[in-house]
C-alpha cells in the first residue's frame, strides 16, 4: 500500500478511507465525471453500513422466520386439506433441518441461502392464507394473516438501515 493508505483494522474503516480519498483528492478535479465519482462515494458509504450490519440483520431475520414458521406449522398441522397439508409438512421438515453447526460461524452466502429458503415458505404461507383460508377457519386465518403482516413489518424495520441513505462519516 502507498504511504497514505495505511492498514485499517476493519473493512468499514477501509471503505470509509477510500470514500474520503475520493472526496478529497478525486472529486475536486473530476470535472464532467463528478457525478459518477459522487455515485461511487454514495455506494461506498452504503457499503460501509452494509458490511457491519447485513450479517446481523439476516441472522435476526432467520431467527424471526424460524419463529414465524413454527407458529404457522403449529396452527396448520391439524388442517387436513391442501395447500395446508403439504405446506405444514414442508415447514416441519425445514425447521428440523440443521443448517449450520452451532460452533461454526456461517458465511454470508449460507445466511442468505437460509434466509431465502425460509422466506419462500413464509411467502407460500401468505399466499395460502389469501387463496385458501377456508380450511383454516376464519379466526385461524385472521390470526395467521395478522402474524404474517407483523413479520413483514419487522423485516422491513430490520432492513431499514440497509436502504436508507447514509450520511457521510467524513465529508471533508
pTM for the full predicted model: 0.76
Find out whether 106 and 100 touch, Cβ atoms under 8 Å: yes
> What integer pLDDT is reported at residue 6 of this predicted model?
57
Is a pLDDT exceeding 90 seen at residue 169?
no
Average pLDDT over residues 49-78: 93
Tell me which long-range contacts 57-63 makes (C-beta under 8 A, separation of at least 24).
57/158, 57/159, 57/161, 57/162, 58/108, 58/111, 58/112, 58/115, 59/111, 60/158, 61/115, 61/155, 61/158, 61/159, 62/111, 62/114, 62/115, 62/118
Q: Which residue has the higher pLDDT, 3 or 111?
A: 111
Q: Which residue has the higher pLDDT, 35 or 165?
A: 35
Is a pLDDT exceeding 90 seen at residue 125?
yes
Q: Which residue has the higher pLDDT, 128 or 105?
A: 128
Amino acid at each position: 500500500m502507498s504511504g497514505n493508505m495505511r492498514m485499517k483494522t476493519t473493512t468499514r474503516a477501509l471503505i470509509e478511507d477510500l470514500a474520503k480519498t475520493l472526496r478529497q483528492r478525486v472529486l475536486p478535479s473530476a470535472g464532467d465525471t463528478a457525478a459518477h465519482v459522487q455515485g461511487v462515494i454514495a455506494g461506498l458509504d452504503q457499503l460501509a453500513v452494509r458490511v457491519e450490519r447485513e450479517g446481523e440483520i439476516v441472522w435476526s431475520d432467520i431467527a424471526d422466520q424460524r419463529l414465524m414458521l413454527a407458529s404457522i406449522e403449529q396452527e396448520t398441522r391439524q388442517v387436513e386439506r391442501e395447500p395446508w397439508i403439504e405446506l405444514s409438512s414442508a415447514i416441519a421438515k425445514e425447521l428440523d433441518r440443521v443448517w449450520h453447526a452451532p460452533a461454526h460461524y456461517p458465511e454470508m452466502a449460507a445466511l442468505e441461502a437460509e434466509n431465502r429458503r425460509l422466506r419462500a415458505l413464509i411467502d407460500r404461507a401468505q399466499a395460502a392464507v389469501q387463496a385458501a383460508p377456508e380450511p383454516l377457519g376464519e379466526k385461524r386465518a385472521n390470526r395467521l394473516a395478522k402474524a404474517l403482516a407483523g413479520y413483514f413489518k419487522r423485516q422491513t424495520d430490520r432492513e431499514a438501515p440497509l436502504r436508507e441513505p447514509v450520511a457521510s462519516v467524513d465529508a471533508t
